[in-house]
């Protein structure tokens, strides 16, 4: 079987800065033409570098890959890694600067659901309009019309202008049209971020069934669970280049781990510059996972430890430590101090290096990035030093804790709690309005 998508040394350059950042006016162009000779001279000098020097940057650089029919390819990477540019080139929205893409099938892209919806038109009219914009034929839309309406669950409002729809209805209708496209290649960017959870699940199911019909799906998402569970293969983009290509679990893990190791541990090698005071100085801090390895990538369900090493400079002081944990919104999630530590708390510390370790249980933090500030204190909290953001780590979820749920999981903590459901009453008792027999 030969590839359905062949991407060959694909590069895309964007101009940034004054030249066409957004748009120019004629006056700018005229003024630009006057300055052009000088500019050319300057550019010739700066021609060495390929990034930034001449007000351009490469959103994609030398990307190569092939996709086989029926594959569901996840594309992961940080913001600005080139994922969206890649999809835009593949869906022919923008042209590459160099390189070549060959597509052996009809492509439909879903870079945003509801593209081309007109608020004044009714649901019915928008189905036809949106379908045509996404590349469906009129006959095809007519054939699938009832199915689309049923999928969107908007039967009653089909002739109401969509501007009167609730946002949920709007999104459902938009996705319903898109979900009934039948291209050989479907390109999806983050559509799962919309709608309520039941509908999200329906969408996931739909995408899965699209893939089962042998269609090829390219899927960009920041939802790593979706990528891991839906894709048969994943590629990792970084800085416009393709960093990794392989099994989604492996690619997602290396994406999540990429470039973060250094933040898991901090060491102050030079004691004279280390944070602290005349009584004590910090020496280092680190995060260890349940297995004891220093890492900045943790799993929601696993416990971990935060360690602090510090030097006591004045023998006889009673030292202790505190950690303060913040999430990526800067919200203070919790603090914990070592005043219930059984061995050393309240005792006079001799001179030397000490290590305090805070044990954090699993199933406490939700997915996300966290940073830890530490505080060392002495002599009944009369002397202290706080050092902000010493270590940083990311928590990722494991599939197991989610059971059958794939949607958003809000909340600043994510404990795994026990549940019971029991039946309290019989139907006859529960519904007194039911007429009695006889």
Partner 1 sequence: MNLTPAEKANALQSAAQIASTTETAPHNQGSLPSSDRPLVVIEPRASWLGTTLRDLWTYHELLYFLTWRDVKVRYKQTLLGVLWAILQPLCMMLIFSLFFGRLVGVPSDGIPYPLFAFAGLLPWTFFATAASTSGNSVVNSANLITKVYFPRLIVPMAAVGAALVDFAITFAVLGALMIYYRVGLTWGLLMLPVLSVLLVTLALGFGVLMSALNVRYRDVRFALPFIIQLWFFASPIIYPTSLVPERWRWLLALNPMTGIIEGFRAALFGRTSFDWRAIMIAAVITLVLLVYAAVTFKRMEKTFADIV
Q: How far is the CB of 35 from partner 1 (least distance, A)?
A: 17
Best CA proximity match to 151, nearest among 133, 167, 127, 129: 127
| Residue whose CB is less far from partner 1, 26 or 269 | 26
Q: How far is the CB of 257 from partner 1 (least distance, A)?
A: 20
Cβ-proximal residues to 294 (8 Å cutoff; 6+ apart), any chain: 261, 264, 265, 286, 287, 288
CA distances from 102 to 9, 10, 30, 131, 368 (A): 12, 11, 39, 24, 38
Please identify, among the stretches 86-94, 295-303, 353-361, 427-435, the one whose residues bind partner 1 according to the rule CB under 8 A.
86-94
Among 53, 80, 132, 366, binds partner 1 (CB under 8 A): 132
CA distance 15 to 22: 10
| Residue whose CB is less far from partner 1, 97 or 401 | 97
DSSP state of 294: B
Q: Which of residues 228-267 bind partner 1 (CB under 8 A)?
A: 229-232, 247-248
| Residue whose CB is less far from partner 1, 111 or 383 | 111
Please identify, among the stretches 35-43, 88-96, 252-260, 267-275, the one whose residues bind partner 1 according to the rule CB under 8 A.
88-96
CA distance 87 to 93: 9
Among 37, 40, 120, 342, binds partner 1 (CB under 8 A): 120
| Residue whose CB is less far from partner 1, 94 or 339 | 94
Q: How far is the CB of 218 from partner 1 (least distance, A)?
A: 14
Cβ-proximal residues to 337 (8 Å cutoff; 6+ apart), any chain: 320, 321, 322, 375, 377
* CA-angle at 233, arms to 106 and 209, nearest 5°: 55
Starting at the edge strand that comes first in sequence, how are the strands of the sheet with 352-360 ordered? Answer: 265-267, 280-289, 304-312, 352-360
Best CA proximity match to 178, nearest among 146, 135, 221, 138: 135
Best CA proximity match to 319, nearest among 340, 338, 342, 306: 338
Does 62 participate in binding partner 1 (rule CB under 8 A)? no
Helix residue ranges per DSSP H, 95-166: 123-133, 138-152
Residues 363-402, mask of contacts with partner 1 (x by CB under 8 A): ----------------------------------------
Task: Say if residues 347 and 289 touch (Cβ distance below 8 Å).
Answer: no
CB-based burial label for 319 (10 Å; 0-12, 13-18, 19+) = buried
Q: Which of residues 98-117 bind partner 1 (CB under 8 A)?
A: 98-107, 109, 111-112, 115-116
Q: How far is the CB of 162 from partner 1 (least distance, A)?
A: 12
Q: Report the DSSP beta bridge partners of residue 409.
A: none
CA distances from 244 to 69, 249, 251, 305 (A): 20, 12, 7, 30
Q: How far is the CB of 405 from partner 1 (least distance, A)?
A: 11
Q: How far is the CB of 124 from partner 1 (least distance, A)?
A: 12
Q: Report the DSSP beta bridge partners of residue 57.
A: 14
Q: How far is the CB of 146 from partner 1 (least distance, A)?
A: 17
The footprint of partner 1 on this chain (CB under 8 A) covers a number of residues equal to 79
Please identify, among the stretches 97-105, 255-263, 331-339, 414-422, the one whose residues bind partner 1 according to the rule CB under 8 A.
97-105
* 3-state SS class at 73: strand
DSSP state of 49: -
Does 137 participate in binding partner 1 (rule CB under 8 A)? yes
Q: How far is the CB of 216 from partner 1 (least distance, A)?
A: 9
Residues 172-211, mask of contacts with partner 1 (x by CB under 8 A): ------------x-----------x-xx-xx-xx--xx-x
Does 409 participate in binding partner 1 (rule CB under 8 A)? no
Q: Which of residues 276-315 bind partner 1 (CB under 8 A)?
A: none
| Residue whose CB is less far from partner 1, 233 or 369 | 233
Among 72, 149, 252, 364, binds partner 1 (CB under 8 A): 72
CB-based burial label for 46 (10 Å; 0-12, 13-18, 19+) = exposed
Among 14, 65, 145, 409, binds partner 1 (CB under 8 A): 14
Among 55, 62, 70, 80, binds partner 1 (CB under 8 A): 70
Q: Which of residues 29-48 bind partner 1 (CB under 8 A)?
A: 29
Q: How far is the CB of 236 from partner 1 (least distance, A)?
A: 17
| Residue whose CB is less far from partner 1, 71 or 299 | 71
CA distance 211 to 73: 10
Best CA proximity match to 302, nearest among 369, 254, 348, 364: 364
């Amino acid at each position: 079987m030969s590839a359905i998508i062949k991407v060959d040394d694909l590069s895309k350059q964007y101009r940034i800065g004054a030249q066409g950042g957004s748009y120019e006016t004629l006056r700018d162009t005229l003024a630009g033409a006057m300055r052009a000779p000088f500019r050319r001279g300057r550019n010739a000098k700066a021609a060495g570098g390929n990034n930034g020097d001449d007000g351009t940057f490469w959103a994609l650089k030398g990307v190569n890959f092939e996709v086989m029919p029926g594959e569901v390819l996840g594309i992961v990477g940080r913001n600005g890694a080139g994922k969206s540019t890649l999809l835009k080139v593949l869906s022919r929205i923008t042209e590459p600067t160099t390189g070549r893409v060959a597509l052996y099938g009809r492509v439909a892209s879903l870079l945003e659901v509801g593209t081309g919806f007109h608020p004044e038109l009714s649901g019915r009219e928008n189905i036809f309009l949106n379908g045509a914009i996404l590349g469906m034929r009129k006959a095809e839309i007519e054939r699938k019309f009832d199915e689309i309406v049923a999928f969107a669950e908007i039967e009653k409002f089909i002739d109401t202008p969509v501007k009167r729809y609730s946002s949920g209805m709007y999104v459902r209708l938009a996705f319903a049209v898109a979900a009934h496209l039948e291209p050989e290649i479907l390109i999806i960017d983050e559509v799962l971020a919309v709608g309520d959870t039941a509908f999200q699940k329906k969408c996931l199911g739909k995408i899965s069934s699209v893939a089962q019909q042998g269609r090829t799906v390219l899927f960009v998402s920041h939802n790593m669970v979706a990528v891991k569970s839906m894709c048969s293969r994943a590629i990792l983009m970084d800085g416009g280049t393709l960093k990794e290509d392989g099994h989604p679990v492996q690619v997602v893990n290396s994406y999540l781990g990429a470039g973060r190791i250094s933040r898991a541990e901090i060491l102050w090698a030079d004691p004279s510059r280390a944070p602290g005071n005349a009584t004590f100085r910090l020496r280092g801090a680190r995060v260890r996972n349940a297995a004891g390895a220093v890492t900045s990538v943790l799993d929601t369900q696993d416990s971990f430890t935060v360690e602090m090493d510090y030097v006591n400079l004045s023998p006889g002081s009673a030292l202790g430590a505190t950690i303060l944990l913040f999430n990526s919104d800067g919200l203070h999630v919790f603090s914990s101090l070592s005043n219930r530590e059984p061995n050393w708390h309240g005792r006079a510390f001799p001179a030397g290096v000490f290590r305090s370790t805070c044990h954090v249980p699993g199933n406490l933090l939700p997915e996300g990035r966290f940073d830890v500030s530490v505080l060392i204190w002495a002599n009944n909290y009369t002397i202290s030093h706080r050092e902000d953001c010493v270590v940083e780590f990311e928590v990722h979820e494991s599939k197991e804790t989610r059971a059958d749920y794939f949607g958003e999981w809000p909340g600043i903590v994510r404990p795994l709690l026990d549940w019971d459901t029991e039946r309290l009453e019989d139907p006859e008792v529960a519904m007194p309005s039911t007429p009695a027999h006889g």
